[in-house]
Amino acid sequence: MCGITGWVSFHQDVRHSAPVIEAMTATMALRGPDAGGVWLGRNAALGHRRLAVIDLDGGAQPMADRPDRPQVVLTYSGEVYNHHELRERLRSRGHRFGTRSDTEVVLRAYLEWGDALVDHLEGMYAFGIWDERAQRLLLVRDRLGVKPLCWAAVDGGLAFGSEPKALFAHPEVAPAVDADGLREAYSLLFTTGPTVWAGVHEVHPGGLLVLDRDGIHERRYWELTARPHTDGLETTRDRVAALVDRAARSQLEADVPLCSLLSGGLDSTVVTALVADELRRTRGPGAKLRSYAVDYSDQAERFTGDVLRTGHDTPYATEAGAFIGTEHSTVVLDPRALLDPENRRAVVASRDSPIGVGDMDTSLYLLFGEIREHSTVALSGEAADEVFGGYPWFHKPEALAARTFPWLLVTGDDAAMPLAPDLAAHLRIREFREDTYRSSLAAVPRLDGESAGERRLREIQHFSLTRWLRQLLHRKDRLSMAQGLEVRVPYCDHRLVEYAFNAPWAMKNHDGREKSLLRDTGRGIAPDSVLLRPKNHYPATHHLDYNEGLRRLAREALDVPQVRDIADATVIGAVLDTPADRLQWGHRLRLERVVDLALWLDHHRPALTL
């Protein structure tokens, strides 16, 4: 896993601007703490920061097809899990390899297949390839959008990077925010393409972008499609189990210490069990997988259920670790660490966005920091709820009947950022959501003969996979890479996603519960307590000291004039008047977002055009 960046201009000789690509590359140092490099040609400059995971001595980047007068140069981030198979296929076609890295496999796959290399890759990745022969840049992002990739137009071409901060190191790209950006941010619709930053765009998941002398061309090489599901229930169970098993085991390769995130929920427990078994199979019966969970110092005594959380995670995680046989650790955090200004500032800086979830972001960042002391790679259960239908909105009639995105119903307006009245009138968030919902509905693939109920559930799942999941992957990537930790997500295997997307909902909840097919996979490898446990979201602290400290930070944030230009100080003031012991999670999230807004404005100092 790494940080990538680059710059192409057909209007100038970029070799005279080495400090620019060096500055862009330097912004990615946290993503790649082990090494860095740049390459400059007449019209293209590429930069790379490396987190060494496979072939520690080889795989330096940017990587060229030849040492002298290179014709093709690659800057690459991610992991291609089928690189061994591809290496053998390419060798049979005459390619010779000088490293064991998957980076070189991607480079030589392009030399063999051109843009069609995307059809051969399995994994999570984002990369840029400059083809000197064709005077052409190719940008590619993995199918589910696990790895980020953004770009902005510059004179005669474009600049690109893993994160917007790489673009802002280019003299022609400024951190500016307009009404469209704030509308995208505070609508909570998680659209891919536009960003909060004016002029900065994302490459679409499953998309590629080509820049040549004729301009910029984009297309999708992968999208979810509706297909008839002809397998019976038993075959479907077996097929899902095989796909999950293959995805988890294929993501174990690393030349550095590896661990798993084990929350005590079904999703992470299944992944941990499969990876632990594969570790014992390949490295000997005594091999032990490290696993990690996060908790708060007050959680056992003060846990209070809410719309997202039904129970305390730690007892389930501890039991799952013992059942599977991992070396399990719980990272316990106190309010001081969660409120520490430097920790919160680091989180906001890593996100490049004012939108987050407060203590849950800070705790995840701190958890990743603790894990990085022992491991460089972690496997996560992210995406199982989207793939197998785990969220309440898949099962509640009111959510299915609502003509809007279902996550907007979870906490309602209590958790939304209250916008200053004049800004709210200008942004017209409600109308924007309605328009976006209609266009998103039209993009859902249809299947002839599908019942109305089945069609509605397909719509909800498509929204969840193409919107809600995107912000979860963004959060996990940014916070983990800010600590130099690579997180892999087996449930984002595109073959698993395709198969589960088309399985009928009568099979997805055949036992009357959410995620029935994944529960089938977990039988015998996860404890019954986990198999029978209801869905539980990522934990939040309930400590009164945290609530008091958050109110103090929110009051300080409201002293910032630009914050009051965006947030409704009257509404926030009413929340601040709520006693700490009566501050509900949704209202608290409003305070979190005001604090994050102030930190974001201070760190990025965007030019606001409202």
Tokens 């919160």, residue located? 344
Q: Is 337:298 a contact under the CB 8 Å cutoff?
A: no
Alpha carbons within 13 A on the beta-carbon side of 436: 19
Rounded Cα distance, 200 and 295, in Å: 36
Which amino acid is it at 188? L
Query: Among this protein's residues, is 492 annotated catalytic?
Result: no
Q: Is 596:358 a contact under the CB 8 Å cutoff?
A: yes
Tokens of 171: 């003299």
Torsional sign, CA 193, 195, 201, 205: negative
Rounded Cα distance, 293 and 315, in Å: 10
Tokens 């696990």, residue located? 146
123: left (phi over 0), alpha (psi -120 to 50) or beta: left
Rounded Cα distance, 185 and 474, in Å: 13
Q: Is 261:381 a contact under the CB 8 Å cutoff?
A: yes
Rounded Cα distance, 76 and 78, in Å: 7
Strand partners, 74: 63, 129
Residues 2, 150, 259, 492: which is the catalytic one?
2
In 3D space, the residue among 285, 234, 244 whose CA is nearest the CA of residue 526 turns out to be 244
Question: 509 φ, ψ to 5°?
Answer: -130, 45
Q: Is 75:128 a contact under the CB 8 Å cutoff?
A: yes
Tokens of 67: 């040492």
Q: Is 448:331 a contact under the CB 8 Å cutoff?
A: no
Question: Residue 593 to residues 222, 340, 356, 540: CA-CA distances in angstroms?
Answer: 34, 16, 7, 15
Question: 269 φ, ψ to 5°?
Answer: -70, -40
Residue 65: exposure state from Cβ atoms within 10 A (0-12, 13-18, ≥19):
middle
Question: b/e map of 85-115 (b: 16 or more CB within 10 Å)?
Answer: ebbeebeeeebeeebbbbbbbbbbbbbbeee
Sequence-separated (6 or more) residues with CB below 8 Å from residue 139: 126, 127, 128, 149, 151, 160, 203, 208, 209, 210, 211
Rounded Cα distance, 560 and 563, in Å: 5
Instruction: Give me the active site residues, please.
Output: 2
